[in-house]
Amino acid sequence: MKYLNDTTVMKRMKSRLTMNKVWKTIFLLATLLALLTLVILLVRIVSQGAAHLSLDFFNNFGSRFPEKAGIKAALIGSIYLMLIIAPVSMILGIGTAIYLEEYAKKNKFTDFIRMNISNLAGVPSIVFGLLGLTIFVRMLYLGKSLLAAGFTMSLLILPVIIVASQEAIRAVPKDQREASYGMGATKWQTIVRVVLPAAIPGILTGSILALSRAVGETAPLVVLGIPVILQFLPDGLLSQFTTLPLQLYDWAKRPQEEFQYVAAAGIIVLMVLLVIMNSIAIFIRNKFSKRY
């Protein structure tokens, strides 16, 4: 009553099992290669830039001399820019998400808005720069100012914030809304007092991640014509400014080797800024998000 001959089975299976093992290793190596690149990138930048990091580096403005070059104007400019992008993009993004999830009927118009948002997410950032150059810088006479750049960047990250907010709002269970209606609350009351408080951790997480993308973005600002080196700090919404990535772009382009170290030091600052923002986002996600 023996249907299977163990030795023949083993003989036939052996090569297939070996293949399985070989390919498993190949797949693992491919995955590790990606991680290895990240490690090399970080190690290299830290080893190049750490020596240039000093208090002076934070206190000096941009300079033609590598030893005097600092990131004061760029860092402050990046932070000011963030302060404009955050409220503008979040109001627009959350508003759109509330409309789409809570009010929009299932019709062609809603489909059109949804399709439009997903296509907008695929538009290259440099094209947003062209949009900003024509509309904000020239047509609305905002010039190469904080406000023009802030609006341009807000539109750039808008699709990301909309999608993240939509997901967060959708995750709030229907019973909670119905319980609120059952208690006599109106639709807007339900949204403000039930849906949004439950969705806000998800919305914040998505928004901070989107914002960290805007902080690292360079291309649209180059197109707007934002200066790369400034000797003063911005003093108003219509003031000129520069940002960290722009400053880095200028340093990286310079032929003198010393500027490579300055650029690496600037990259460390930028990456630390991004790590802080991402950590806040992860903290909010882990601490406040509820599972239903």
Partner 1 sequence: MASQGLGREHSVQDLIAKSRDKKGKRFVEKLMPIVLVTIALISVLTTVGILFTLIFETFEFFQRVSITDYLFGTEWLPFSGSEPLFGVLPLVLGTLKIAVIAACVAVPLGIAAAIYLSEYATDKTRRIIKPVLEVLAGVPTIVYGFFALTFVTPMLQELIPSLKIFNALSPGIVVGIMILPMIASLSEDAMSSVPNSIREGALALGATKLEVSLKVVLPAALSGIIASVVLAVSRAIGETMIVSLAGGATPTFDLNVTGSIQTMTAYIVQVSSGDAGYGTTIYYSIYAVGFTLFIFTLIMNLLAQYISKRFREEY
Q: Which of residues 208-267 bind partner 1 (CB under 8 A)?
A: 209, 212-213, 215-219, 222-225, 228, 245, 248-249, 252-253, 260, 263-264, 267
Smallest separation, CB 247 to partner 1 (Å)? 10
> Residue 254 in contact with residue 157, Cβ under 8 Å?
no
Smallest separation, CB 180 to partner 1 (Å)? 14
Question: Is residue 239 classed exposed, middle or buried when 0-12, 13-18 and 19+ CB atoms within 10 A define those classes?
Answer: middle
Among 23, 58, 141, 283, binds partner 1 (CB under 8 A): 23
Which among 69, 2, 17 has a CA at the least distance from the CA of 269? 69
Smallest separation, CB 18 to partner 1 (Å)? 10
Site for partner 1 in 170-189 (CB under 8 A): 184, 186-188
Query: Is there binding between residue 125 and partner 1 (CB under 8 A)?
Result: yes
Among 40, 50, 51, 79, binds partner 1 (CB under 8 A): 40
Contacts of residue 179, defined as CB under 8 A and 6 or more positions apart, other chains included, come to 194
Query: DSSP class of residue 284?
Result: H
Smallest separation, CB 260 to partner 1 (Å)? 6
Of 9 and 236, which CB lies nearer to partner 1 in the complex structure? 9
Smallest separation, CB 34 to partner 1 (Å)? 6
Altogether, the residues listed in the chain come to a count of 292
> Residue 217 in contact with residue 249, Cβ under 8 Å?
no
User: What one-character-per-residue DSSP string does 87-144 give?
Assistant: HHHHHHHHHHHHIIIII--SSHHHHHHHHHHHHHTTS-HHHHHHHHIIIIIIIT---S
Which among 275, 265, 223 has a CA at the least distance from the CA of 244? 265
Of 198 and 224, which CB lies nearer to partner 1 in the complex structure? 224
The pattern of x and - marking residues 129 through 148 that bind partner 1 according to CB under 8 A reads xxx-xxx--x----------
Of 171 and 274, which CB lies nearer to partner 1 in the complex structure? 274
Among 11, 47, 79, 103, binds partner 1 (CB under 8 A): 103
- Token digits for 109? 């118009």
- Token digits for 204? 């914040």
Torsions phi, psi of 184, nearest 5?
A: 95, 5
Query: Is there binding between residue 196 and partner 1 (CB under 8 A)?
Result: no
Stretch of 33-41, 53-61, 75-83, 165-173 lying at the interface with partner 1 (CB under 8 A): 33-41
Among 54, 118, 256, 286, binds partner 1 (CB under 8 A): 118
